[in-house]
Amino acid sequence: MDENVTNCRTVWRIMLLTIDAGNTRTKWAVFNELGEISKHGVCLNSEIDSADLSPALLGYKRAVISNVAGEQHAIHLAGKLSPYHLPVHWVKAAPQVCHVINRYTKPETLGSDRWAALIATWNLKHAPCVVVNAGTAVTIDALNSCEINHEQYGEFIGGLILPGLDLMQQSLGLATAQLPKADAVQVPVVPKSEDIFAKITADAIYNGALHAIVGAIRQMVETLMQHSQQVPYIIISGGNAQIIKNVLTRYVTNQTIIVDNLVGQGLHLLATSISNENTMKSDAQ
């Protein structure tokens, strides 16, 4: 574990709720005083009003939120947490935090979920990585490493956004007259390497979407490897992570790791960094 992360987690001994509000689902996790997940859950965004996030039940003292689900969902989340009168921080991407540099043209426009995932990945590997979040949309981000003043930094140099596996299939069903709709697509239980030569339309749609995602990841891996002159790790999170990894590892030899709650891990690091900055400011006054 990175020394800075260790210091953050030992300095800031407080229970923290992280909320990762994605396009379709909201994931939450409670980190204990040691920085470990003690409780977690997930619900559809439409069901957030019925989720019990009370600190009396979960034991947290403050919350940090990444929301890419829109303003209305943010209002619902704020409404759920406001009765508890606890500190809540809404994450936005920044030019640099936690030894990660954001090279987006306008750093603040990077999605907060992608930003948190990049921070978690850098603190996990401290090496070039391709970071994949496989949900309703698929994001494929390149994390390089660079040295500044004899210190190693992660450097987000850019990425791709694709429709997710389900969304690609749905879009074909909606935009074409004779192709089966998404709810009629039968997903192969165990995709095989020869499935790229699909013999039925449902398999052709499914495998077309899957191989489009895998192909984009492979391209990012090859390009980042040329850029960094290192073999990057592949870090995958999200609901379709295992499906994508199963096919991807047939084509690439890079170490490919599935990390559950990657965004939540990044939110915890961000909240810890903010708390330590505030502590240092208080000590200086």
> How much helix, strand and coil, in percent to the nearest 5, is found in the chain?
45, 25, 30
Residues 6 or more apart in contact with residue 269 via CB below 8 angstroms: 5, 8, 98, 116, 119, 120, 123
Q: Quick check: is 203 catalytic? A: no
Asked if residue 89 lies in contact with residue 271, where contact means CB atoms within 8 angstroms, the answer is: yes
DSSP 3-state assignment of 259?
coil
Q: How far apart are CA 34 and CA 212, in angstroms?
A: 40
Q: Cα dihedral sign for 195, 196, 200, 201?
A: positive
Q: What are the φ/ψ torsions at residue 164 (nearest 5 degrees)?
A: -70, 175
| DSSP labels, 153-219 | EEEEEEEEEEE-HHHHHHHHHHH-SSSPPGGG----SS--GGGGS-SSHHHHHHHHHHHHHHHHHHH
Exactly one of 20, 113, 141, 203 is catalytic; name it.
113
Q: How far apart are CA 241 and CA 220, in angstroms?
A: 17
Q: Which residues are catalytic?
A: 113
